[in-house]
Structure 1
Amino acid sequence: MNADNLVIDAGVPGPAELRRVLGHFATGVAVIAAHDGTRPLGFTCQSVVSVSLDPPYVSFCPAKTSTSWPLLRRAGALCINILAEEQREMCRGFAVSGGDKFAGVEWDRAGNGAPALRGALAQIEATVELEHDAGDHTVVLARIGALRAAESGRPLLFYRGEFGGFSA
Structure 2
Amino acid sequence: MFDLFEFPADGSGLRRAFANFPSGVVAICADVDGTPHGLAVSTFVPVSLDPPLVSFCVQNSSSTWPKLAGASHLGLSLLGTDQQDAAQALGARNGDRFRASQLHRGTGGAVFLDGASAWIEGVPEVTVPAGDHAVVILRIHRIATQPEVDPLVFHGSRYRRLHADTADTWERKAG
1:107 aligns to what?
103
Please give the TM-score of this superposition, normalised by the length of structure 1.
0.91
Asked if the contact 1:29/1:46 (under 8 Å) is kept, the reply is: yes
Matched, 1:131 2:127: yes
The residue type equivalent to 2:115 in the other structure is G
Number of equivalent positions = 164
Match for residue 79 of structure 1 among 75, 81, 84:
75
Amino-acid identity (%): 34
Matched, 1:70 2:66: yes
Q: Which runs of 5+ in 1 are unaligned?
A: none
2:84 aligns to what?
88
- Residue 84 of structure 2: SS of its match in structure 1? helix
The residue type equivalent to 2:107 in the other structure is G
The residue type equivalent to 1:145 in the other structure is H
How far off is 1:146 after superposition? Answer: 0.5
Q: Deviations over 1:43-65 (max 9, x none)?
A: 01000110000001000000001
How far off is 1:16 after superposition? Answer: 1.3
Q: Deviations over 1:118-156 (max 9, x none)?
A: 101110001111011111000111100000000301111
- Residue 90 of structure 1: SS of its match in structure 2? helix
1:149 aligns to what?
145
The residue type equivalent to 1:120 in the other structure is A
Provide the rounded CA distance (Å) in 2 between the counterparts of 1:5 and 1:112. Answer: 52
Asked if the contact 1:29/1:82 (under 8 Å) is kept, the reply is: yes
Root-mean-square deviation over aligned CA pairs: 1.7
How far off is 1:5 after superposition? Answer: 8.1
1:34 aligns to what?
30
Provide the rounded CA distance (Å) in 2 between the counterparts of 1:34 and 1:73. Answer: 10
Residues 87-96 or 15-24, more deviating: 15-24
The residue type equivalent to 2:117 in the other structure is L
- Residue 62 of structure 1: SS of its match in structure 2? strand
Please give the TM-score of this superposition, normalised by the length of structure 2.
0.87
Larger radius of gyration: 2
Match for residue 119 of structure 1 among 115, 121, 142:
115
Q: Which runs of 5+ in 2 are unaligned?
A: 165-175
